[in-house]
Homo-oligomer: A and B are copies of this chain.
Amino acid sequence: MQVVKAEIIAIGDELLYGQIVDTNSHWISQELDLMGMKVVRKTTVGDNRKDILTAFAEAEKRADLVLITGGLGPTQDDLTKPLLAEHFDCEILEVPEAVEAITAFFKRRGREMTPLNILQGHLPACCTYVPNEVGTAPGMWFERNGTYWMSMPGVPHEMKKLMKDFVLPKLPSLFTLPVIFHKVIKTVGIGESWLADLIKDWENALPEHIRLAYLPSLGHVKLRLTGFGDDKSQLEQEIDQHIKVILPTIGKYVYGYNEETLETAIGKLLKQNGKTVALAESCSGGYISHLVSSVAGCSAYYMGSVVPYHNQFKEKVLGVKAETLRNHGAVSEETVREMAEGVRHLYGADFGLSSSGIAGPDGGSEEKPVGTVWISCAGKGFTEAKKLQLTQDRMLNIQLTGVAVLNLLRICINQNNK
């Protein structure tokens, strides 16, 4: 089978000056890889006529698919559109449909347009207009000499929407892609090397055509199984069979598969069990509430939160006893237990969760250094608490506390169900 070659061209001075990290190219690479396409080159060039035209010309010689991000803003330094018109040798004309879509976009937002915005609806005559529902710069699709091109805005959520809605679904009709099946096992509460040690015999016994990759990220480790073959459903069955074999060993760390996040998994668990949750966040300052409430439909199980950032409100709003705070301090097992129980009571929820710790960079002591965090989960007839010893980095401590609190809830729900 012929390898289908893709190139990514990212355009913008801000990428070359190091002011922005190009996360777009990374995301595109992952998506194309999942479809069995091979990204053979990524190029970043600035807002410079000659550099952009050279990048276009070089890519056209090599690639079957060229994906371009950036340089589509309404201002003068945005060159992608006129240079695509030049590269493909065609005029820029008004596309009434595009102008209408942009006008409607501004109307929906209740904002007024400028003449520059209207010009965003003028496109090279040789491209196919691809509507951008979440922004003002349209996508543009080109075809020439067997190479397909897509130009997209550099704003990540706009680019992703155009990729997901238009480009990715189109690829199987344009190219003969190999059959690949991926399944990702999501684990939490175990480090990468520990997990590797636990599953090494199973890993070594996997057949040649099934590959395993460890993808660690903040408090999680993802195991990606990739199968290569002729028949997708057969690969899927085969991979599920291998997962079935390893689950008795790692099952207690597994919270989901593929796109599932810890917060969507928690939501599912709560819904299935008809349970509700409320949060009292001190050091995590609203971060966990944000995770929980970022899931669509969370109102079925999320009651609400209190962030009692100062101790007096742990007492006033949550009913933590003054003597508990006095005797043990805010960062203590006793306090997080009372916080979890207090917020559970306040919101009449089945589970109450809490966090209290020293996020840093200041506020640590010898006894309780920066990174010391207590978390708790209270439910009917029980209150679990756990101490974490995290890092020197404030944001990392907040994020790792989030993972630990949600994982504690997951464990409590599962134990409760036994």
Cβ of A9 to closest chain B Cβ, rounded Å: 10
> Does A175 interact with chain B (Cβ within 8 Å)?
no
Cα A279 to Cα B286 with chains together (Å): 10
The segment from A25-33, A83-91, A124-132, A139-147 found at the interface with B is A25-33
Contact of A19 among B133, B213, B294 (CB under 8 A): B213
Cα A219 to Cα B36 with chains together (Å): 36
Q: Which residues of B lie under 8 Å from residue A217 when comparing CB positions?
A: 155
Cα A135 to Cα B281 with chains together (Å): 27
The segment from A93-101, A186-194, A243-251 found at the interface with B is A186-194
Question: How many identical subunits does the complex contain?
Answer: 2
- On whether the beta carbons of A17 and B45 are closer than 8 Å, the reply is no
- CB contacts under 8 Å to B, within A7-50, are 13-23, 25-33, 38-48
Binding site of A, secondary structure by majority: helix, strand, loop or mixed? mixed
Cβ of A142 to closest chain B Cβ, rounded Å: 22
Which of A17, A110, A281: most chain B CB closer than 10 A? Answer: A17
- On whether the beta carbons of A309 and B299 are closer than 8 Å, the reply is yes
Q: A196-B116, A197-B114 are in contact. Are A299 and B289 (CB under 8 A)?
A: no
- CB contacts under 8 Å to B, within A357-411, are 360-362, 371, 389-396, 398
The segment from A232-240, A266-274, A300-308, A334-342 found at the interface with B is A300-308
- On whether the beta carbons of B309 and A307 are closer than 8 Å, the reply is no
Q: A294-B398, A306-B305 are in contact. Are A194 and B43 (CB under 8 A)?
A: no
Q: Which residues of B lie under 8 Å from residue A391 when comparing CB positions?
A: 109, 134
- On whether the beta carbons of B290 and A398 are closer than 8 Å, the reply is yes
> Does A418 interact with chain B (Cβ within 8 Å)?
no
- On whether the beta carbons of B307 and A304 are closer than 8 Å, the reply is yes
Cβ of A232 to closest chain B Cβ, rounded Å: 17
- On whether the beta carbons of A293 and B289 are closer than 8 Å, the reply is no
- CB contacts under 8 Å to B, within A277-292, are 279, 281, 284-290, 292
- On whether the beta carbons of B299 and A389 are closer than 8 Å, the reply is no
Cα A316 to Cα B13 with chains together (Å): 52
Cα A28 to Cα B21 with chains together (Å): 12
Contact of A309 among B15, B23, B304, B360 (CB under 8 A): B304
- On whether the beta carbons of B309 and A303 are closer than 8 Å, the reply is yes
Closest B residue by C-beta to A133: B392
Contact of A134 among B75, B155, B393 (CB under 8 A): B393
Contact of A289 among B31, B110, B286, B371 (CB under 8 A): B286
Cα A110 to Cα B404 with chains together (Å): 14
Cα A114 to Cα B195 with chains together (Å): 10
Cα A366 to Cα B17 with chains together (Å): 45
Contact of A285 among B19, B215, B294 (CB under 8 A): B294
Interface set of A (CB-CB < 8 Å, partner B)? 13-23, 25-33, 38-48, 51, 55, 58, 73-75, 77, 108-114, 116-117, 133-134, 155, 157, 182, 191-194, 196-197, 213-217, 224, 279, 281, 284-290, 292-294, 296-299, 302-310, 313, 317, 346-347, 360-362, 371, 389-396, 398
Closest 5 interchain pairs by CB? A285-B293, A286-B289, A18-B29, A18-B30, A286-B286
Q: What are 19 inter-chain pairs, A to B, with CB distance below 8 A?
A: A15-B42, A16-B33, A17-B33, A19-B215, A21-B21, A21-B23, A21-B26, A41-B51, A42-B44, A73-B192, A110-B389, A134-B393, A155-B216, A286-B305, A289-B307, A296-B361, A296-B394, A304-B308, A305-B307
12 more CB-based (< 8 A) A-B contacts, given A285-B298, A296-B360, A305-B305: A16-B33, A16-B41, A20-B215, A40-B45, A40-B51, A75-B196, A108-B371, A285-B292, A285-B302, A296-B394, A304-B307, A306-B317
